[in-house]
Amino acid sequence: MVIDRQARLVAVESWDDYFLFTLESPQIACQARPGQFLMIRVSETSQPLLRRPISLHQAQGPHVQIFFQVAGEGTRLLSMKKTGQQLDILGPLGNGFTIRPELRGNEVFCVGGGRGIAPLYYLARELRASGARPIIFYGGRSGTDLPLKDRLRADGFEVLISTDDGSIGSPGFVTSLVEAELKKRRPAYLYACGPVPMMEKLAEICRLENLKAEFSLESMMGCGFGACWGCVKKIRRNDQEKYLKVCQDGPVFSLEEVVWQESEHG
Amino acid sequence: MVIDRQARLVAVESWDDYFLFTLESPQIACQARPGQFLMIRVSETSQPLLRRPISLHQAQGPHVQIFFQVAGEGTRLLSMKKTGQQLDILGPLGNGFTIRPELRGNEVFCVGGGRGIAPLYYLARELRASGARPIIFYGGRSGTDLPLKDRLRADGFEVLISTDDGSIGSPGFVTSLVEAELKKRRPAYLYACGPVPMMEKLAEICRLENLKAEFSLESMMGCGFGACWGCVKKIRRNDQEKYLKVCQDGPVFSLEEVVWQESEHG
Amino acid sequence: MVDLSVDLGFLKLKNPVLAASGTFGYGLEFKPFYDLELLGGFVVKGLYLKPREGNRPPRLVETPSGLINSIGLQGIGVEAFCREVLPQLAGLKTAVMVNVCGEEEDEYARVAEYLGRHQGIAALELNISCPNVREGGRCPAQSPESTYRTVKKVKQATSLPLITKLSPNVTDITAVARAAEEAGTEAVSLINTLLAMAIDLETRKPKLGNVMGGLSGPAIKPIALRMVFQVARAVKVPVIGMGGIFSAADALEFMMAGAAAVQVGTANFVDPDACLKIIRGLQDWAENHGIERISEVTGSLQL
Amino acid sequence: MVDLSVDLGFLKLKNPVLAASGTFGYGLEFKPFYDLELLGGFVVKGLYLKPREGNRPPRLVETPSGLINSIGLQGIGVEAFCREVLPQLAGLKTAVMVNVCGEEEDEYARVAEYLGRHQGIAALELNISCPNVREGGRCPAQSPESTYRTVKKVKQATSLPLITKLSPNVTDITAVARAAEEAGTEAVSLINTLLAMAIDLETRKPKLGNVMGGLSGPAIKPIALRMVFQVARAVKVPVIGMGGIFSAADALEFMMAGAAAVQVGTANFVDPDACLKIIRGLQDWAENHGIERISEVTGSLQL
Ligand SMILES: Cc1cc2nc3c(=O)[nH]c(=O)nc-3n(C[C@H](O)[C@H](O)[C@H](O)COP(=O)(O)OP(=O)(O)OC[C@H]3O[C@@H](n4cnc5c(N)ncnc54)[C@H](O)[C@@H]3O)c2cc1C
Ligand SMILES: Cc1cc2nc3c(=O)[nH]c(=O)nc-3n(C[C@H](O)[C@H](O)[C@H](O)COP(=O)(O)OP(=O)(O)OC[C@H]3O[C@@H](n4cnc5c(N)ncnc54)[C@H](O)[C@@H]3O)c2cc1C
Ligand SMILES: Cc1cc2nc3c(=O)[nH]c(=O)nc-3n(C[C@H](O)[C@H](O)[C@H](O)COP(=O)(O)O)c2cc1C
Ligand SMILES: Cc1cc2nc3c(=O)[nH]c(=O)nc-3n(C[C@H](O)[C@H](O)[C@H](O)COP(=O)(O)O)c2cc1C
Ligand code: FES
Ligand code: FES
C-alpha cells in the first residue's frame, strides 16, 4: 500500500556531492523493506517536472533515511532542502530484496558501487537481523566516493573497499575485489546495486561461479507506481522475455531474470 | 548605455509582501535617473522564463535600491533572495521622468499608488535637489500597503496619505485626495505611477485643471531593451497614434501622449 | 453547493474531470491514492486485440516543463483486459472508458466490437492519434479521410458511445474534427502528444529507444488550449480538452475555450492526487465566483 | 584551435550561431551588449513594404518554459530600413540577413526586389510562417503549393540567396521543405512559432489582444528538434535549426540532428549575451571532444 504525504526533513549530513537525509515518516518507516524506494518531488514549479526515485537507506522508529548523490538538476534541488522543510514523498514503492530464511548463518555478499550503496546498508542490517552474515563491498571512483565507509564499519559490518584510482582500499573495480574474495570464500548469496557495467560484470561472475544473486536496477521513471509503462526493462520470466516495470515488478530482479541490453549502457 | 551584470544584494528590508532591496552596482548607480528600471532574472531554471522589470527606487554612491511587491511567481522568487547573493540585472533601462529647470521654486505633485511609489521617491529627491518642492501623495488599499510613509516623512518630504479602507490617512482613493488638495493649491507639474484606473483618473483631472503631467506606465515586457516589440502601448506623438515601446520610448510618457485603452484595464 | 455534473449527451459525468489514457494505468494503480468514484471518469491505457510489447527503452525523457514518452502502447490486450481487469472495475460509480487501438482500421473495429460485448464500459475513446506506433510518428488522425473511415467502421462495429481522440500533429485540426463528426463520433477529445525528440550529446544517439516520442505536460498547454478553442467552434459534438492540465485554473481555461470536460494526463505522475485536487479546485472556484453549474463555464470565453 | 566556420554553399559563416528574426530588433539594440561581429550573423525583424502597426496589445504571455507572442510584425517597412538602419549596419563583418514579409505573394517579391538593390545584405529569410498576421493563424508555409509559388516568385525577383522559414503548424513539414527546395530556395530555416493561446480566468478573455499567438522558448525545443531531424533527411539544401535554443548543448543537439547552423531567439530576451555564450560553449565543447571543425557535428546523430 502506497502512501502519499509530506515528510519533515529532520537531519542533513553531506560529503561533497553526497547527501544523507533523515525524514520523519512513521507510516513509511513501519512498512518499508530494503530495496524499496521513494518518489520525491524536488521542485515546486514545472521545472523539473517529474519526481525523482531514491532508495530507502534506512528505516528506524519514525524515521527513514535516504542517501543520494547529486547527478543533475533534480538531485541538486533536492540537496538544497533544509532541515525543518517538508518533503513531498511517495512510498514505499517497488519490491525489495528477498531476505531468505535459508541464509541464516551463511555469509552473503552485498556489493555497492558509488551511490548504489544506498539500499545495501539497509539490506545488510536486515540480513544481519535475520541471522545471515553480510559482507559489504563498497567501490567508488575515488576515496571521496565512499563517504559511508566508516559508518558501515562502526556499525560492525565487515566492509571491503575499492577505488578505481587506488586512492584508498584495493585499487581497481569493485568487481575485481569480489573476484579476489571469491577465491577465499564462497557466499550463499550476492546482492548488488550500482552502475550497469558493474552489475553486468557481477552477473557474469555469478553465472561462472554458480552463485545466486539479486540486482537492484535503475531506470528513468515517470510515475514510480506502475501507471506509465515508462520504466520497463527486458526481463526473462517463465521462459519469456518481456518488458516489465522496474518500479512495480522491480527494482530488484534475480540474476536469471535480468537481460543486460547493450543499447542501454550509455 | 545598458549594462548587464551581477549585482550583490547587500540589504533586505520587508513589510508583509513589500520588499526593499539594496544592491551594489556602482556603474548603474552613477548613470541612473528616476523613472528608469532594471530587468531582473528571478530564476535559474526556465520557469519563469523572462526577467522582471522593476523600477529604480534610489541610487546613491555605489548602491541602487528597488522596492517591490510580490505579485506572482516571479516576484515571489525575487523576494526569496538573500543578502550576499548575486542578482543578475540589466539596466538602467528606459527614459526616466523629465526634471525641468522651470520647476525650480514651484510645488510639484508626485502621486504613487501602492507599489507605484517605487520610482517616485527617487524622483522626489531629484526634484528637491533641483530646487522644486515635491509633495508626495501615497495611496493604498489599506495601511499595510504604505510601508514607506514614515521613511518618506523622515526624509523631510510632505507626504499626503490615503487608504481605500480608511484605515489610515484620508479615506478613499488617492485621486480624491489629489482633487481635494487641488482646491487648496495648484502645482506646476504632476508625476504619477500606479494602477491604470488611478492614472486614468489623474489624467482626467489634469486635463480638467489644465495641469502638465507625466505618467510611468507598466507593460508586460519580453526584453526591456527594445528588441521584441512586446511591450507597446498606443501613444499619441506628432499628431499620430502609434504603438510605441514602453521599455524604450517610455516607461514615462506625458499626459498628452498616453492613449488610455479600455481593453487593457483588466 | 455547486453542481459539478456535466452532460455530454451520450453520457452524464458527475464532474468534468477524467484521467487520461496511458497516464492512469488500468485504473487499479490509483486505488491506493483515492476512491476512484470521486472522478468524473477515467480512460484506461490503449488496448489492441492482442498483448503488445511496446517500444524499446529508454521510453521517457524529461524536457523543459514537459515529458516525451515513446511507450508504444504496451499492454495486455483487450481479451486479458476484459477477463482480468474489467471485473475489478465492475460496479464502480464512475465512467470507465477504454482507449481503443488498432494496427489498421479493421483492428480498431474488432477491438470496439469485442469491448461492446462487455458490461461496465461507459464509452470508447478511439486512439487514432498515438505518435509512437507507426513509422515516422504517423497516425490516422493526421488526415480527415482516414479519420472518417476509421470512425465509420468502428461505429458500425459497436453501439457504445465513441470519443475520437485527435492528433495535434496536423495543419488543420478542425478539418479532422469535422470528419470525425460526420462519421458519427459522439465526441472528440484532444490533444494527444506532439511528436518530439531529444538527443544525448555524449552518445550522439536519440535519448529514446524509438528515436521520436510524444511530448506532454505544461509545455504543450498553450498549443492544446488553442486547438480546443478552434475545434469547439468547428463542431457541434462535445469537446473533451487535455494537454498540460495540472491545476483547476488550467482546467477552467480549457472549459472557457469550449471543452465540456477535461482529461488530466502527465499530472497524474507528478501528483497521484492531481485529479482530485482539480475537482476540489473547480468546486472552490465556482463557489467563489457564484457559479451554480460548472457546465456554464464551457465556452464562456469573451472575444 | 577549433574551426567554428560553416559553409552554407551560398554563404560562409564565421560560426554557426545566428540571432533569430524578431528577437534581435534591427541588430542595433544589441550593440550595447557585445560586438556584433562576433556572431555568425543575425536576422533582423520581419519587414513589409510599408511600415506596419502590429497587433493590439497585450502581445506577450509567459507560459511554462515558454513565451507566446502576437507582435504581428510591427516594423518600419523596407524603405525606412534601407534608409535609416542599413547604413548603420554597413561594413559589419558578420552576415546581416533580412526577414522578408508580405500580405500576398506579390509583396514578398517586391520586398525582396527592393532589398536586392541594396548593399550589405548577406541573404534573405522568407517569412512565410508567421502565425500572427493572418486570420486564424494561417500562413503560406502551411501548404507545399503556396510555399512553392511564393519561393518561386521571390527567386525571380532577386538574386540574393534565399532561406525559406518553415512553419511547425503542419502535418508534414518535409513536404513543405521539399516544395521550397524545388522552387529553388538556397536553404530552409525552422521552426517558426507554434500557434498557441492563453486565457485570463478573471476577465474570461484571451490574454493576448490578438487572441492567438506563437509559442517559442525551451518548451518547444523537443518539437523543433524533431522537425529539424525530419527535414534534414528530406532535403539537400542546408537546414538552419531553431526553437528553444538556450545553450551550446541545445545548439549541438540541433546540429547533430542535421542543422548546418542554428538561430537563437527567445534566449536573447532572457540573456542578451546568449548568442555569445553559445558560441563560446561550442568552442569549449569541440575542444574537449577533440573536434577540429564544428561543421563535423552536423548530421552526426547515430541511429
Ligand atoms: C529505483 C531507483 C532508486 C534510486 N535510488 C537512488 C539512491 O538511493 N541514491 C541516488 O543517489 N540515486 C538513486 N537513484 C538514481 C536517481 O534517481 C537519479 O540520479 C536521479 O533521478 C537523477 O535526477 P537529476 O535530475 O539529478 O539528474 P538528471 O539531470 O535528470 O540526469 C542526470 C543523469 O542521471 C540519469 N538519470 C535520470 N533519471 C534517472 C533515473 N530515474 N534513474 C537512473 N538514472 C537517471 C540521466 O540519464 C543522466 O545521465 C535511483 C534510481 C532508481 C530508479
Ligand atoms: C517599467 C516597469 C517598472 C516596474 N517597477 C516595479 C516596481 O518598482 N515595483 C514593483 O513591485 N513592481 C514593478 N513593476 C511591476 C512588476 O514588473 C510586476 O509586478 C512583475 O513583473 C510581476 O511578475 P510576477 O512573476 O511576480 O507575477 P506574474 O505571475 O507574472 O503576474 C502577476 C500579475 O502581474 C501582472 N504582470 C506581469 N508582468 C507584468 C509587467 N511586466 N508589468 C506589469 N504587470 C505585470 C500580470 O498580468 C498579473 O496580473 C514594474 C513594471 C514595469 C513594466
Ligand atoms: C506516458 C504516456 C502514455 C500515454 N499513453 C496513451 C495511450 O495509451 N492512449 C492515448 O490515447 N493517449 C496516451 N497518452 C496521451 C495522453 O492521454 C494525453 O493525450 C497527453 O499526454 C496530453 O495530456 P497531458 O499533457 O495532460 O499529459 C499518453 C501520454 C503519456 C505521457
Ligand atoms: C517576440 C518574437 C518575435 C518574432 N518575430 C519574428 C519575425 O519577425 N519573423 C520571423 O520569421 N520570426 C519571428 N519570430 C520567431 C523566431 O524567429 C523563432 O523562429 C521562434 O521564436 C523559435 O525560436 P526560439 O524558441 O529560439 O525563440 C519571433 C519570435 C518572438 C518570440
Ligand atoms: S515508472 Fe511509471 S510504470 Fe514504472
Ligand atoms: S520589452 Fe521588448 S521591446 Fe519593450
Per-residue pLDDT of B166-190, as tens digits, reads 999 999 999 999 999 999 999 999 9
Residue B1 has pLDDT above 60, yes or no: no
Measured between CA atoms, how close is B37 to chain D, in angstroms? 16
Length of chain D: 303
Asked if D196 and D215 count as a contact pair (C-beta separation under 8 A), the reply is yes
C273 phi and psi angles, rounded to 5 deg: -85, 5
With beta carbons less than 8 A apart as the criterion, state whether A136 and A156 touch.
Answer: no
B264 in contact with ligand 2, CB cutoff 6 A: no
Asked whether the predicted pLDDT for residue D157 surpasses 50, the reply is: yes
Per-residue pLDDT at B266: 37
Q: Is B145 exposed, middle or buried (0-12, 13-18, 19+ CB in 10 A)?
A: buried
Give the gyration radius of chain A's Cα atoms: 18
Closest ligand to the CA of A50: 1
Backbone angles phi, psi at D7, to 5 degrees: -110, 115
> Does residue C1 lie in a domain region?
no
- What three-state secondary structure class fits B104? coil
User: Which residues, in sequence order, are CB contacts of A261 under 8 Å at separation 6+?
Assistant: A233, A234
Domain that holds residue D81: 6-297
The single residue of C82, C101, C130, C275 carrying the catalytic annotation is: C130
A228 C-alpha to ligand 3 centroid (Å): 9
What is chain D's mean pLDDT, rounded? 96
**Of how many residues is chain B composed?**
266
Cα first-last separation, chain A: 34
Instruction: For residue A47, list chain D residues with Cβ-Cβ distance below 8 A.
Output: 64-65
Residue C205 falls inside a structural domain:
yes
Could you report the per-residue pLDDT of A125-173, keeping only the tens digit for each? 999 999 999 999 999 999 999 999 999 999 999 999 999 999 999 999 9
Question: Which chain D residues touch B242 with a CB distance below 8 Å?
Answer: 53
Cis preceding-peptide flag for C191 (omega within 30 of 0): yes
pLDDT band of D64, cuts 50, 70, 90: very high
pLDDT, tens digit (0-9, with 9 covering 90-100), for D187-211: 999 999 999 999 999 999 999 999 9
Given phi > 0 = left and psi -120 to 50 = alpha, else beta, which region is C302? beta
Mutate to test the interface with B, among A42, A44, A45 (most CBs of B within 10 A): A45
> How many CB atoms neighbour CB B86 within 10 A?
13
The ligand 1 atom at the shortest distance from the C-alpha of residue A74 is 25
Residue with the smallest CA separation from ligand 4 atom 22 is D243
Q: Which of A72, A89, A70 is nearest to A14 (CA)?
A: A70
DSSP secondary structure letters along chain C: --B--EE-SS-EESSSEEEPTTSSTTSGGGTTTS-GGGSSEEEEEEE-SS-B--PPSP-EEEETTEEEE-----B-HHHHIIIIIHHHHTT-SSEEEEEE--SSHHHHHHHHHHHHTSSS--EEEEE---TTSSGGG--GGGSHHHHHHHHHHHHHH--S-EEEEPPSSSS-HHHHHHHHHHTT-SEEEE--PEEEE-EETTTTEESSTTSEEEEESGGGHHHHHHHHHHHHHH-SS-EEE-SS--SHHHHHHHHHTT-SEEEE-THHHH-TTHHHHHHHHHHHHHHHTT-SBGGGGTT----
Give the gap in angstroms from C-alpha C202 to the nearest C-alpha of chain B: 22
Q: Which residues contact C150 (CB under 8 A, 6 or more apart)?
A: C102, C105, C108, C126, C128, C140, C183
**Cell numbers representing residue B190 in the block:** 504632476
For an interface test with A, which of B42, B43, B44, B45 has the most A Cβ atoms less than 10 Å from its Cβ?
B45
Q: Do the interacting molecules here have an ipTM over 0.90?
A: yes
Q: Is D232 helix (H, G, I), strand (E, B) or coil?
A: helix
Task: Please compute the mean of the pLDDT values over residues A43-71 and round it to a whole number.
Answer: 94
Best mutation site among B218, B233, B249, B252 for ligand 2, i.e. most ligand atoms within 8 A of its Cβ?
B218
Ligand 4: distance of its center to the CA of D67 in Å? 10
Q: Is B15 in the pocket of ligand 6 (CB under 6 A)?
A: no
Ligand number nearest to the C-alpha of D67: 4
Confidence of residue B47 (pLDDT cuts 50, 70, 90): confident
Nearest to C14 by CA among C84, C72, C99, C92: C92
Residue C33 sits in a domain whose CATH number is 3.20.20.70
- Mutation target to probe the A interface, by most A beta carbons within 10 A, among D62, D63, D65, D302 is D65
Instruction: Give the distance from residue A138's alpha carbon to the nearest chain C alpha carbon, in angstroms.
Output: 27
Span from the CA of C58 to the centroid of ligand 1 (angstroms):
13
* Chain D residue at shortest CA distance from A263: D303
- Mutate which: C65, C221, C302, vs B, most B CBs within 10 A: C65
Q: Are strands D17-19 and A18-24 parallel, antiparallel or unpaired?
A: unpaired
A227 lines ligand 5 (CB under 6 A): yes
- Show which subunits contact C, needing at least 3 CB pairs below 8 angstroms: A, B, D
User: Cβ B49–D203 below 8 Å, yes or no?
Assistant: no
- % of chain B exceeding 90 in pLDDT: 91
CA C140/CA B194 separation, integer angstroms: 54
**Amino acid type, A158:** E
Residues 6+ apart with CB under 8 A from D74: B229, B232, B243, D52, D53, D54, D55
Q: Round the CA-based radius of gyration of chain D to a whole number and report it.
A: 18
pLDDT given for residue D135 in this prediction: 86
Q: Is the CB of D153 under 6 A from ligand 4?
A: no
Residue D46 lies in a domain: yes
| Model confidence pLDDT, tens digit, residues C199-239 | 999 999 999 999 999 999 999 999 999 999 999 999 999 99
Q: What is the 3-state secondary structure (H, E, C) of C208-247?
A: CCCCEEEEECHHHHHHHHHHHHHHHHHCCCCEEECCCCCC
D253 contacts in chain C (CB < 8 Å): 198-199, 201
Q: Is a pLDDT exceeding 60 seen at residue A64?
A: yes
Chain D CB contacts of C196 under 8 Å are: 222-223, 225-226
Q: Are residues C67 and A48, on separate chains, in Cβ contact within 8 Å?
A: no
- The reply to whether D276 touches chain B by the CB within 8 Å rule is no
Which of A164, C282, B46, B125 lies closest to D245 in space, CA to CA? B46
Q: Name the catalytic one among D82, D130, D139, D275.
A: D130
Residue B211, Cβ neighbours under 10 Å: how many? 19
CB C138 within 8 A of CB C123: no
DSSP state, residue D62: E
φ, ψ for residue B149, nearest 5 deg: -60, -45
Predicted confidence (pLDDT) per residue in A92-102, tens digit: 999 999 999 99
CA distance A156 to A178: 20
B62-100 pLDDT, tens digit each: 999 999 999 999 999 999 999 999 999 999 999 999 999
pLDDT at A92: 95
Nearest to C136 by CA among D301, D254, D230: D230
Whether the CB of D65 is below 8 Å from some CB of chain A: the reply is: yes
Nearest-atom index, ligand 1, CA of A78: 26
Provide the terminal-to-terminal Cα distance of chain B, rounded to the nearest Å.
34
CA–CA separation, C53 vs C50, rounded Å? 10
Q: Is B55 in the pocket of ligand 2 (CB under 6 A)?
A: yes
Q: What are phi and psi of C25, to 5 degrees?
A: 55, -140
E strand or H helix that includes residue B123 = helix B117-129
Over range A200-221, report the average pLDDT.
95
d(C-alpha A97, C-alpha A124), whole Å: 11
Does B228 sit in the ligand 4 pocket, CB within 6 Å? Answer: yes
Of B46 and D265, which is predicted with more confidence? Answer: D265
Q: Are strands A3-15 and A86-93 parallel, antiparallel or unpaired?
A: antiparallel
Cell of D261: 547552423
**Confidence label for B265 from pLDDT (cuts 50, 70 and 90):** very low
Q: Name which residue sits closest to atom 3 of ligand 6, judged by CA.
A: B226
Mark A91-114 as b/e (b = at least 16 C-beta within 10 Å): bbbbbbbebbeebeebebbbbbbb
D222-250: b (≥16 Cβ within 10 Å) or e: bbbbbbbbbbbebbebbbbbbbbbbebeb
The 10 Å Cβ neighbour count of residue A167 is 14
Residue type, C226: R
Distance from CA of C64 to the nearest CA of B (A): 7
Give the residue among D214, D210, B241, B34 at the shortest CA–CA distance from B233: B241
Alpha-carbon distance of B114 to B145, in angstroms, equals: 6
Please give the tally of structural domains in chain C: 1
Is C249 a domain residue? Answer: yes
Section B149-174 average pLDDT: 95
Residues of B in contact with C65 (CB under 8 A): 46-47
pLDDT of residue A265: 42
- Nearest residue (by CA) to ligand 2, atom 34, is B71
CB D61 within 8 A of CB D213: yes
- Directed axis angle between helix A174-184 and helix A196-209, to 10°? 20
Q: Is the CB of A48 under 6 A from ligand 5?
A: no
β partners of residue D133: none
Q: Ligand 1 pocket by C-beta < 6 Å: which residues?
A: A 37, 48, 52-55, 66-69, 71-75, 115, 118, 218-221, 251
Chain D CB contacts of B90 under 8 Å are 272
| Atom number, ligand 1, closest to the C-alpha of residue A57 | 8
- Please report the pLDDT score of residue A266 as a whole number: 38
Asked if residue C303 is part of any domain, the answer here is no
How far does residue C20's CA lie from ligand 3's centre (Å)?
6
C-alpha cell at D48: 513589409
Can D101 be counted among the known catalytic residues? no
Other CB atoms within 10 A of residue D218 CB: 29
The response to whether residue D245 sits with its C-beta less than 6 Å from ligand 4 reads yes
* Ligand at shortest distance from the CA of A194: 1
Cβ-based contacts of C217 with chain D (< 8 Å): 64
- What is the tens place of the pLDDT at every residue in C136-160? 899 999 999 999 999 999 999 999 9
Tell whether C218 is within 8 A of chain A (Cβ). yes
Q: Please list, in sequence order, all residues whose beta carbon lies within 8 angstroms of the beta carbon of residue D131, skipping any fewer than 6 positions away.
A: D137, D138, D139, D167, D169, D192, D193, D194, D195, D212, D213, D214
Give all domains of chain A, ordered by start, each with its CATH number.
Answer: 2-93 (2.40.30.10), 97-212 (3.40.50.80), 217-266 (2.10.240.10)
Residue of D nearest to B218 (CA): D58
Q: Which residue's CA is the nearest one to ligand 2's atom 28?
A: B72
Per-residue pLDDT band for D38 (boundaries 50, 70, 90) equals very high
Percent of chain C with pLDDT over 70: 100
pLDDT at residue A1 tops 80 = no
Contact call for C59 and A233, based on CB within 8 A: no
- pLDDT at residue A53 greater than cutoff 70: yes
Find, among D105, D10, D119, D100, the residue nearest to D49 by Cα. Answer: D100
Cα separation, B222 vs B249, in Å, equals 15
A2: pLDDT strictly greater than 80: no
